[in-house]
């Protein structure tokens, strides 16, 4: 079978995985690698054997770290955002990752007044307000409750704000544009277990959650959601939370905007009404195109982004085969499908999902693609289980004021230029 | 379950010193590891101010006192008029950078935070007090006295032309200030509750 015989399932060179695998082209495209000349770098190679095959290796370490060769895979601090404007976001390098789990040291983080260094022996969680019994919990006491765990995504409300705000598309990497999303397994105590213990008085409808950081970051959350699936998270990917994720304890509210997942949690106050804290009054509210300002916009909308290839990368080979791959998620539930277009949105093909999508978790999607060497645009469009479809940028912008920058979930377009460079574009 | 049966169960839950079964998580016994909190501890930690003025402390502050405090503790980050930044805009329009502004992209790229103005967007003046007391100044949060926070709140309202120069902020006057953001405010959560899913 010749390359040109592979049946396309959509324009621009999208190929069904089955025919691609059957054709044996995977091996054919790998073949040129055999002929490459190897730069030995720091390795000593004798008789074709690098020294790591001929000498005993190094010692283990108590807490493992990535290979020094991966030292470039780090979070990105956003240059124009720092403590002087009120908060510092650190973006996950999603272009360097596969699968759906973000390592703890690379999980995105936004902190509004630095990272507190909290002593777990001193830190307590108190529950009060419209409860039958105001209660306090030490960290040791919390750890005695049943621990439940789930794999979930977490996304900042302001993820992809650059594309929401900027009049022209900025030529950034996907990490900088959309790196305020991560995936992890979160484990902790059901908020419902603690509230059942304190009891909730009639009229208790909201819970004011407050952190013990310098800014005492605070959000008002509906009691019904906290009783449904929220947890007091103590573990992330099998280890205790990192300081940047709220050590020793954070609120985790599946599918809801990152800011509501209060880190360094120390207080839950049951009330009848929301408090209209700073964050829910301004920063995490959305000015709409009709002049209203929407508050308490909690779930993150259905969204996807192609990470491979993505902004600032260069495709190494014209007319080559590539695996298009990316991440999709929805704060409303599971992803139902992701479609990919390789011809500027004219035709679409259903992408493969790497695993059965989980509730409010990232899912990895992919499709084989043969680039014909001509400029084109790659897009991905996710649909969730309740039928929400990712909007186009134009549709999204039509709902919001020009300066709205939260909850931007429009379809991401990557322009593939003649020379293989990948660039962020609109439309 | 009948009302009587429910009351009976509730009575058991409240009266029993042993792990019992509660609503929603019927298979999970209440562990009872939490311990009572003294009211004095709650009073010390409970700093949230509500839109109806609940929990506002005694004290008062004038625009004039606020102006001096602002120059000393706030202007370096928020600008002399609360409009210049680099930290969040406190006063001014709702922060929209006109698309005819030739430097718009630059302004947005350099100062994305400035598009939110507290004075134009926040629906309640109580939030100014709450946030200033808990989180400001950025390098020394919770260092201000209640009178100082009242004074700064009065001054921020004055910078927004929402109160007169002789305004005195206290727990009675703050709740009466009409913020322009209120008329524009909607609740997506309430909307979702009333109309089903998005």
What are A391's two structure tokens? 């909007």
Averaged over A216-228, what is the pLDDT? Answer: 98
Q: What is the DSSP letter of B83?
A: S
Interface touch B46/A295, C-beta < 8 Å: no
CA-nearest of A348, A186, A351 to A258 is: A186
Q: Choose which CATH entry (2.170.120.12, 2.40.50.140, 1.10.760.10, 3.20.20.70) describes domain B61-186.
A: 1.10.760.10
Alpha-helix runs per DSSP H in B46-125: 63-73, 75-78, 104-110, 118-121
Residue B28: closest CA among chain A residues belongs to which residue?
A: A193
- For residue A331, pLDDT over 90 is answered with yes
- Scan for tokens 């959309």, then name that residue: A178
Share of chain B above pLDDT 90, in %: 56
The total of other beta-carbon atoms located within 10 Å of residue A62's CB is 4
Q: Given strand A124-129, what is the order of strands in its sheet?
A: A218-222, A206-211, A265-271, A124-129, A135-138, B35-36
Q: What is the DSSP letter of A311?
A: T
Q: Where do the domains of chain B lie?
A: 3-35, 61-186
Interface touch B95/A403, C-beta < 8 Å: yes
pLDDT at A403: 82
Averaged over A281-296, what is the pLDDT? Answer: 92
CA B83 to chain centre: 20
Residue B107: closest CA among chain A residues belongs to which residue?
A: A166
What are A31's two structure tokens? 């073949």
Interface touch B41/A126, C-beta < 8 Å: yes
Position B31 confidence tier, pLDDT thresholds 50, 70, 90 = confident
Question: What structural domains does chain A harbor?
Answer: 111-169+183-275 (3.90.420.10), 303-425 (2.60.40.650)
pLDDT at B95: 46
- For residue A130, pLDDT over 50 is answered with yes
- For residue B19, pLDDT over 70 is answered with no
- Cα–Cα distance measured from residue A353 to residue A331, given in angstroms and rounded to the nearest whole number: 18
Mutate one of A278, A290, A389 to test the B interface: name it (highest B CB count within 10 A): A278
- Cα–Cα distance measured from residue A333 to residue A329, given in angstroms and rounded to the nearest whole number: 8
Averaged over A145-154, what is the pLDDT? Answer: 98
Which of A80, A199, A281 is nearest residue B121 as measured by Cβ atoms? A281
Which of A113, A197, A276 is nearest residue B124 as measured by Cβ atoms? A276
- Cα–Cα distance measured from residue A36 to residue A13, given in angstroms and rounded to the nearest whole number: 27
- For residue B12, pLDDT over 70 is answered with no
CA-nearest of A257, A384, A266 to A332 is: A384
pLDDT at B1: 37
- Between B5 and B139, the more confident residue is B139
Closest CA–CA distance from residue B168 to any residue of chain A (Å): 22
Asked if B108 has any chain A CB less than 8 Å from its own CB, the reply is yes
**CA neighbours closer than 13 Å in the CB half-sphere of residue B5:** 2
Position B9 confidence tier, pLDDT thresholds 50, 70, 90 = very low
Position B13 confidence tier, pLDDT thresholds 50, 70, 90 = very low
The total of other beta-carbon atoms located within 10 Å of residue B16's CB is 11
Averaged over A93-114, what is the pLDDT? Answer: 96
- Cα–Cα distance measured from residue B144 to residue B161, given in angstroms and rounded to the nearest whole number: 24
pLDDT at B108: 57
What are A195's two structure tokens? 């509230």
Asked if B188 has any chain A CB less than 8 Å from its own CB, the reply is yes
- Between B66 and A30, the more confident residue is B66
- By CB atoms closer than 10 A (0-12, 13-18, 19+), residue A64 is exposed
pLDDT at B24: 47
Closest CA–CA distance from residue B17 to any residue of chain A (Å): 12
Averaged over A143-169, what is the pLDDT? Answer: 96
Over residues B167-188, the pLDDT tens digits come to 999 999 999 999 989 999 999 9
Cis peptide before A309 (omega within 30 of 0): yes
Averaged over A184-198, what is the pLDDT? Answer: 97
Q: Which helix (H) or strand (E) holds B73?
A: helix B63-73
Share of chain A above pLDDT 90, in %: 82
pLDDT at A344: 96
pLDDT at B198: 46
Average per-residue pLDDT for chain B: 82
| Of A27-36, A70-79, A83-92, B107-116, minimum mean pLDDT range | A27-36
Residue A389: closest CA among chain B residues belongs to which residue?
A: B198
């Amino acid at each position: 079978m010749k390359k040109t015989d592979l049946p396309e399932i959509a324009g621009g060179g999208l190929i069904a995985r089955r025919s691609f695998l059957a054709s044996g082209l995977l091996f054919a495209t790998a073949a040129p690698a055999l002929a490459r000349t190897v730069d030995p770098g720091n390795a000593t190679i004798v008789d074709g054997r690098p020294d790591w095959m001929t000498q005993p290796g190094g010692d283990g370490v108590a807490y493992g770290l990535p290979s020094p060769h991966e030292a470039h895979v780090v979070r990105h601090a956003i240059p124009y955002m720092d403590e002087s404007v009120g908060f510092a976001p650190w973006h996950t390098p999603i272009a360097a990752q596969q699968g759906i789990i973000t390592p703890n040291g690379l999980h995105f983080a936004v902190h509004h007044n630095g990272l507190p260094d909290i002593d777990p022996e001193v830190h307590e969680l108190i529950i009060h307000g419209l409860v039958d019994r105001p209660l306090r919990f030490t960290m040791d006491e919390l750890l005695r409750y049943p621990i439940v765990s789930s794999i979930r995504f977490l996304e900042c409300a302001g993820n992809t704000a650059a594309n929401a705000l900027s009049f022209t598309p900025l030529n950034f990497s996907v990490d900088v544009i959309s790196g305020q999303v991560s995936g992890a397994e979160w484990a902790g105590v059901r908020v419902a277990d603690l509230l059942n213990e304190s009891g909730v008085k009639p009229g208790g409808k909201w819970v004011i959650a407050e952190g013990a950081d310098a800014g005492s970051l605070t959000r008002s959350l509906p009691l019904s959601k906290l009783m449904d699936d929220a947890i007091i998270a103590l573990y992330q990917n099998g280890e205790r939370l990192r300081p940047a994720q709220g050590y020793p304890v954070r609120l985790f509210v599946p599918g809801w905007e990152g800011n509501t997942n209060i880190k360094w949690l120390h207080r839950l106050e049951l009330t009848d009404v929301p408090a209209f804290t700073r964050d829910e009054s301004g920063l995490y509210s959305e000015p709409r195109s009709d002049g209203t300002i929407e508050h308490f916009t909690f779930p993150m909308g259905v969204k996807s982004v192609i990470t491979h290839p993505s902004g600032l990368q260069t495709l190494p080979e014209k007319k080559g085969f590539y695996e298009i791959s990316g991440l999709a998620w929805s704060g409303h539930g599971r992803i139902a499908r992701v479609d990919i277009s390789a011809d500027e949105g004219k035709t679409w093909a259903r992408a493969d999902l790497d695993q059965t999508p989980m509730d409010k978790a990232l899912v990895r999607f992919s499709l084989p693609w043969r680039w014909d060497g001509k400029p084109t645009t790659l897009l991905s469009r996710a649909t969730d289980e309740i039928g929400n479809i990712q909007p186009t940028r134009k549709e999204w912008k039509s709902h919001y004021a020009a300066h709205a920058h939260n909850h931007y979930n429009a379809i991401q377009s990557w322009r593939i230029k003649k020379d293989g460079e990948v660039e962020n574009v609109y439309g | 379950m009948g009302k009587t049966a429910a009351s009976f169960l509730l009575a058991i839950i409240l009266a029993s010193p042993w792990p019992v079964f509660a609503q929603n998580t019927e298979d999970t016994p209440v562990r009872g590891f939490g311990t009572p909190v003294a009211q004095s501890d709650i009073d010390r930690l409970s700093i949230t101010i509500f839109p109806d003025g609940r929990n506002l402390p005694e004290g008062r502050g004038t625009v004039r006192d606020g102006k001096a405090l602002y120059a000393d503790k706030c202007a370096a980050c928020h600008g002399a008029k609360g409009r210049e930044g680099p930290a969040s805009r406190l006063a001014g329009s709702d922060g929209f950078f006109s698309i005819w502004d030739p430097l718009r992209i630059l302004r947005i790229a350099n100062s994305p935070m400035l598009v939110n103005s507290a004075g134009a967007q926040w629906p309640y003046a109580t939030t100014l007090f709450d946030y200033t007391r808990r989180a400001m100044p950025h390098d020394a949060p919770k260092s201000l006295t209640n009178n100082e926070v009242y004074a700064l709140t009065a001054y921020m309202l004055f910078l927004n032309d929402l109160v007169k120069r002789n305004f005195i902020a206290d727990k009675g006057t703050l709740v009466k200030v009409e913020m322009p953001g209120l008329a524009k405010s909607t609740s997506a959560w309430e909307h979702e509750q009333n109309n089903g899913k998005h």
